[in-house]
Amino acid sequence: MTRQKQGSLVVIGGAEDKEGDCKILHRFLRLCGGREARILILSTASTDPSAGEEYAAIFTDFGAHEVRILAVPSRKEANHGEFKQVFADCSGIFFTGGDQLRITGILGGSRLGDVLRHARDRGAVVAGTSAGASVMSETMLVGGVDDATPKKEIIRMAPGLGLLRQVVIDQHFAQRGRIGRLLAAVAYNPEMLGAGIDEDTALVIDEDGVCEVVGSGTVTIIDGRKVTHSNISESKPGQPLALTNICLHILAEQYCFHLDKRNVSLPEVKEENSR
């Protein structure tokens, strides 16, 4: 019996282009089936009931077959039995930005959360921007100090949806100077990869754990598995963290990172035909 192919993840650093080439949003649509795509927009991260309307208009203009918005403002609504049918034929799920704790607080352990996982397991693509990106991690960043020296108390972490394991996501990365807080997150447990995604940039992750960079910025990968020293346990409040032998990758469009092997694939260089 052939195993069902799990859907890809499209993890967006926020502020993606919505008026020009819309490269990231077009890539999501293609993964969902192009003109056959049936997309559900989950605006749970925002208290604004119109939060998903802009994306609905964009994907409709792109030619998606069907686009629906699910606001789901409470756990009571997230436990309605109707969602199994709503998700039955969707090919793409898109989380808008807002507050990632609203997503986990409402969806975690709910019928909707279970149905969402089943949809991905049967092949639906799941995308999220800004807070919708952070929530994909098994452990997520929910707050922290931007532009700060790495210290263990500058971040707050919480359980995420667990769609992406052993990786912690930070978004708006270069624009808000968040390398210090991502280093702190990796210092908590160096087995966990840190992925800092710039605005208008995404990681497209397939079922084999191959992550391709798409968009105008970069993705910063922090790999602490080979760290030889850390002062995270004995450091005092306000004391800077020390980490030695940490590995850092800065990846631009078309570069790929392999989550299992923890290595980088370079883009293919097309040679000009010689005359």
Beta strand 219-223 with 247-251 is antiparallel
Place of tokens 């203009």: 61
Question: Which residues are CB-neighbours of 35 under 8 A, at least 6 positions away?
Answer: 63, 64, 65
Taking a C-beta distance cutoff of 8 angstroms, is the pair 199, 217 a contact?
yes
Taking a C-beta distance cutoff of 8 angstroms, is the pair 168, 186 a contact?
yes
CA angle 18, 20, 26 (to 5 degrees): 65
Rounded to an integer, what distance in angstroms lies between the CA atom of residue 149 and that of residue 238? 10
Rounded to an integer, what distance in angstroms lies between the CA atom of residue 217 and that of residue 204? 14
Question: Which residues are CB-neighbours of 149 under 8 A, at least 6 positions away?
Answer: 180, 240
Instruction: Just list the catalytic residues.
Output: 130, 172, 199
